[in-house]
Amino acid sequence: MKNIELYKILICFGLLWLTYSCEKADQTTTSNVALNGQLESREVASCDQCPIGDCCCSVELLNHSLMVTLRFCGTSDGATGCTASGPGACSSISGGGQTLTLDNTHFRRLYCMNPGDAFSITNLGPSPLSIILTCQHDLTNPQKDTVSIAVGTANTLYFDTDTGCAVAQCL
C-alpha cells in the first residue's frame, strides 16, 4: 500500500515538473530578443517584438497578385544602417535599413519606427504599386494612408511619424 502511495506522489511531482518545464520552454522561444533596443531578427512577426515605446508599422499590398520588393530606410528594427535626405520634415533620415518582399501569401509586413522619426520607401520593382501604410498597426482604429509608388530610386517616397505614430508624407 505504501508503494502505491509513493508512486502516486512521484507521478504528481513528475507531471508538475513536466508542466513547468514546458511552459518555460515556450516562453523562451516565442519571440525575438531585443539587444540594445534593436531586434536581432529583421522580420517582425507581431507588434510586441518592436522595442518598448516604438511604433508598430505595417505595409500592405493592395493588389495581392503582385510580387514586389520594397526598400525601407530609417526603421528602428532594420539590420543594416542607412541614411537618406528627403524634403521638409524628412530632411534627416537615419536608422535601420531593410528590404521587404510582398506577395500573395505575405501581402502585409510589419516593421518598427521610433516615434517622431522619418523614413523612406523605395519600390525596387518590378511594377508600380499601391500600398496601405500605417504606424498604428497595434491600435483598434489606426490611421491608414493609401499611397502609390512608381519603380526606382528616383520615385522614393518619404514619410514622417509624430509622437502618436501618425504618418504624414513629406512633399
Q: Read off the pLDDT of residues 126-165 as tens digits, 9 standing for 90 and up.
A: 999 999 999 999 999 999 999 999 999 999 999 999 999 9
All cell numbers assigned to 10: 512521484
Q: Strand pairing partners for 39?
A: 34
- One-letter amino acid at 110 equals L
Read off the pLDDT of residues 37-49 as tens digits, 9 standing for 90 and up. Answer: 443 445 789 999 9
**What does the pLDDT read at residue 25?**
37
pTM: 0.74
Among 141, 113, 135, 127, which residue's Cα sits nearest to residue 60?
Answer: 135
- The mean per-residue pLDDT over the stretch 72-84 comes to 93
- Separation between Cα atoms, residue 149 and residue 170, nearest integer Å: 14
Average pLDDT across the chain, whole number: 83
Q: Above 70 in pLDDT, residue 13?
A: no
- One-letter amino acid at 26 equals D
- Separation between Cα atoms, residue 149 and residue 132, nearest integer Å: 11
